[in-house]
Amino acid sequence: MSDLKDRISSEMLSDYSSSLERNFEIAKKYIRVTTNSTIEIINKEKYNGEDLILIYCIGKQYSKEAEISESSGVSNRELQDELGKPSGSILPWLKSLRDKKKLLRDKTKSPIEHFVPLNQIEPILLDLEKKH
């Protein structure tokens, strides 16, 4: 049993660090993280609302990994403020992304935070590359 456990750990185990590291070259085409934990989206005007949210949320995970942000999640207010979009636009985009399983909510946080699931980081970034 120990041999199987070791094999799983070495060959199958995945975590945010490895997913973020594996996709770093693609992500840096879209995201900059400042030392004050601001996420900057490169050429922001090129993207639709859902893409902006996904890019921002992925950027927040990189910021957390770099120990710049305390959380890898993003609140509604942060999205509104940082993307410059009203709540009436943000909320339907969030629901659509949750319905597509590209975004999850952490309801244990107050306010509720949104984040991109580990298994969606790479497909989202690859999809952005195809579209842009």
Do 121 and 19 touch, CB atoms closer than 8 A?
yes
**Tens digits of per-residue pLDDT, 15-32?**
556 889 999 999 999 999
Which CATH number fits the domain that encloses residue 124? 1.10.10.10
How many domains are contained in the chain? 1
**Tens digits of per-residue pLDDT, 110-121?**
899 999 998 899
**Does residue 39 fall inside a structural domain?**
yes
Read off the tokens for 80. Answer: 């509104």
Range of the domain at 98: 14-131
> What is the predicted pLDDT for the residue at 5?
78
**Does residue 118 fall inside a structural domain?**
yes
**Does residue 72 fall inside a structural domain?**
yes
How many beta carbons lie within 10 A of that of residue 55, not counting itself?
23
